[in-house]
Amino acid sequence: MQCITDVQLCCFRKTEFEKLLQSEPAIEREFVSRLQHDLNEACDWMTVLGRLTAREKVASFLSYLAGNKDFTETDETTGQQVVNVPLRRSEIAGFLGLTIETVSRNITHLRRMGIISMEDAQRMRIVDRRALDL
């Protein structure tokens, strides 16, 4: 498994974890809530990977990053989001089931349409969030 950000991992034996959930209903509710969220997100990505065009896949990926506070900052002067992309284009391509050329071509297309602009290789400014989300 690969992660795109730093991760802290805590391991429990299954029986110990089940006992904890039974004895602490609040923890069980939070665990189930997060699990449901993660499953819904996985279903959304299956749709992205299976049904969308290459351009829609790239836009959806950037939109996902833009919607995640761990990857964005807001430009105080313009109010625009700046997305810190934690993956190289080859890694984005592998994640989306595309070639690196297709990812690069579609990022260039989004830039030419004025939807995004490049701060540098790993940072993209979202100029038109509505257009990105379409």
Distances (CA, A) of 116 to 7, 83, 105, 123: 29, 10, 13, 10
Is residue 45 pLDDT above 80, yes or no? no
pLDDT in tens, 61-116: 999 899 888 899 998 899 899 999 989 999 999 989 999 999 999 999 999 999 99
Measure the CA–CA gap between 92 and 88, rounded to whole angstroms.
6
Fold of 53-134: Arc Repressor Mutant, subunit A (1.10.10)
Give the model's pLDDT for residue 15.
93
3-state secondary structure the chain: CCCCCCCCCCCCCHHHHHHHHHHCHHHHHHHHHHHHHHHHHHHHHHHHHHHCCHHHHHHHHHHHHHCCCCCEEECCCCCCEEEECCCCHHHHHHHHCCCHHHHHHHHHHHHHCCCEEEEECCEEEECCHHHHHC
The two three-digit tokens of residue 39, written as one number: 């499953």
Per-residue confidence (pLDDT) for residue 91, from 0 to 100 = 93
What pTM, to 2 d.p., does this model score?
A: 0.73
Of residues 96 and 41, the one with the higher pLDDT is 96
Whole-number pLDDT of residue 5 = 74
Question: CA gyration radius for the chain?
Answer: 18
**Residue 1's pLDDT is what?**
62
